[in-house]
């Protein structure tokens, strides 16, 4: 029996699509301490080749989201629930127009938002601000438009 089999059983018993847990909750469920690698973001990745604990939650049809290492908490989300969100009629028509076929999935593509939370901006950074304000003037000088 794997050390993390109780976590797999626990998740299989859940009815909710989202199961928020603290690292301490997980330790209670497995009846032991999490390894020091719990403080590594990679430990909580959904890579099936990552570690035996990852295999446990994936086998229960859950994946990790909203991993907050500092506050030692995360959310397990049922994998099937990610695909359940239906496409709007407008997006379905757009997909059909662009690709010449109906979407193969019933809702949003399962990869939609997969990098959410991986990039953060410094406070006060304006992403709409030109990186080189003089660039437009140089382009106008080099390639004047005819009037």
Same-domain status, 77 and 102: no
Give yes or no for residue 23 having a pLDDT over 80: yes
Give yes or no for residue 130 having a pLDDT over 80: no
pLDDT score for 111: 63
Beta strands per DSSP E along 31-140: 62-68, 73-78
Residue 12 lies in a domain: yes
97 CB-contact burial (10 Å; exposed 0-12 / middle 13-18 / buried 19+): exposed
> Is 92:79 a contact under the CB 8 Å cutoff?
no
Which range marks the domain in which residue 42 is found? 5-83
Same-domain status, 39 and 97: no
Same-domain status, 69 and 113: no
Question: Rounded CA gap, 52 and 57, in Å?
Answer: 9
Residue 136 lies in a domain: no
Residue 143 lies in a domain: no
Residue 95 lies in a domain: yes
Give yes or no for residue 99 having a pLDDT over 90: no
Same-domain status, 18 and 67: yes
Average pLDDT over residues 116-136: 77
Work out the end-to-end distance of the chain between its first and last CA atoms, rounded to an integer number of angstroms.
Answer: 79
pLDDT score for 39: 87
33 CB-contact burial (10 Å; exposed 0-12 / middle 13-18 / buried 19+): exposed
Average pLDDT over residues 100-113: 65
Instruction: Collapse the DSSP code of 113 into the 3-class scheme (helix H, G, I; strand E, B; otherwise coil) and give the result.
Output: coil
């Amino acid at each position: 029996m794997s050390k993390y089999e109780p976590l797999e059983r626990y998740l299989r018993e859940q009815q909710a699509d989202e199961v928020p847990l603290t690292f301490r909750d997980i330790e209670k469920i497995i009846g032991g301490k999490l390894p020091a690698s719990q403080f590594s973001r990679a430990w909580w990745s959904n890579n099936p080749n990552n570690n035996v604990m990852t295999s446990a939650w994936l086998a229960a049809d859950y994946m990790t989201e909203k991993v907050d290492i500092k506050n030692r908490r995360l959310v397990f989300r049922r994998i099937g629930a990610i695909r359940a969100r239906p496409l709007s009629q407008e997006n379905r028509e757009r997909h059909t127009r662009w690709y010449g076929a109906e979407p193969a999935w019933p809702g949003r593509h399962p990869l939609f938002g997969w990098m959410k939370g991986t990039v953060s901006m410094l406070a006060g950074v304006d992403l709409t601000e030109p990186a080189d304000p003089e660039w437009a003037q140089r382009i106008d000088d080099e390639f004047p438009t005819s009037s």
